[in-house]
Amino acid sequence: MISVANPLLRLGIIVLFAGLALILLSALLQTLTPANQGGVSSGVAGCVILLFIPICFGLGDTGFLPIIISLSLILTLALILINFLILRKLAGSGHSE
């Protein structure tokens, strides 16, 4: 077993595998759902963060728009918080002379 000492790296790996599991689960559920059901709509959405800019995209029902906007806002705030904490820790460790 590979030892992962950094807790952020461990969290990143867990989130990565959880995302892959959700993708596989959604594909499996989509294939098991009968195609002749009336009134069923679906869509896909995703967000990618480049530096501090979230880029969100979606395809499908327009009901996904509020979800995507909320997700991009949450991701942006989380990224700002993480950057603040990292910079604060780096600034604190620089004065240890």
Q: Where are the domains of the chain?
A: 1-35, 43-97
Does residue 97 surpass a pLDDT of 60? no
Mean pLDDT of 22-49: 72
The whole-angstrom separation of Cα 47 and Cα 45 is 7
What is the per-residue pLDDT for 77? 84
Q: What band does 28 get if pLDDT is binned at 50, 70 and 90?
A: confident
The whole-angstrom separation of Cα 18 and Cα 36 is 30
Mean pLDDT (the chain) is 76
Contact present, 49 and 79 (Cβ < 8 Å)? yes
Q: Record the pTM.
A: 0.44
Share of the chain above pLDDT 90, in %: 2
Angle at 84 between CA 97 and CA 49, to 5 degrees: 130
What tens digit of pLDDT does each residue of 2-19 get? 566 788 888 888 988 998
